[in-house]
């Protein structure tokens, strides 16, 4: 699979340059179903679920927190065998025709969102959370039949 560097500039809120970013992304649009990946579906929380959770949290005066997982798609090991060309600037001159065997998910892989969801859901289940039957993106922690706050 081929890939490319995506060059970005990150800025502070005052407009000054914070840092340069250059992630290596693969061209996932070249992946072939069954050959390069199996299932790609990853559940997304339903808008109605968000409204209900906010309503319950507000009525019970529960604190609401938000977080962002940095580089979320890069944290999951791949189940499929996927190889990529060597990124320009990192080519092994002793073996220029060799390819890289991807061990972890990269941005633009078709299976990246599903791999991330599976890792996150597995972690929540280990903590004792259970996925809702009506929205699998909603996880609930119950202890002794009582929903924990």
How far apart, in whole angstroms, are the C-alpha atoms of residue 20 and residue 3?
A: 19
Query: What total number of domains does the chain contain?
Result: 1
Q: What does the chain come to in residues?
A: 149
pTM: 0.64
Q: Backbone phi, then psi, for 27, in 5-degree steps? A: -90, 80
Confidence at 41, pLDDT banded by 50, 70, 90: low
**CA count, 13 A, side-chain hemisphere, 15:** 0
**Which residue range is the domain that position 36 belongs to?**
3-147
Q: What is the pLDDT of residues 86-135, one digit of tens each?
A: 888 889 999 999 988 887 777 777 777 787 888 889 999 999 999 988 88
């Amino acid at each position: 699979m081929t890939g490319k560097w995506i060059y970005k500039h990150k800025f502070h809120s005052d407009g000054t340059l914070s840092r340069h970013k250059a992630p290596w992304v693969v061209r996932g649009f070249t992946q072939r179903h069954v050959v390069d990946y199996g299932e790609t579906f990853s559940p997304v929380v339903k808008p109605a679920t968000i409204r209900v959770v906010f309503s319950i949290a507000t009525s019970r005066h529960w604190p609401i927190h938000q977080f962002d997982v940095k580089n979320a798609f890069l944290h999951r090991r791949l189940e499929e065998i996927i190889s990529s060309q060597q990124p320009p600037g990192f080519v092994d001159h002793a073996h220029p025709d060799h390819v890289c065997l991807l061990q972890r998910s990269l941005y633009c892989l078709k299976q990246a969102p599903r791999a991330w969801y599976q890792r996150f859901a597995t972690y929540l289940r280990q903590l004792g959370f259970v996925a809702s039957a009506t929205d699998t993106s909603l996880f609930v922690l119950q202890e002794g039949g009582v929903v924990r706050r």
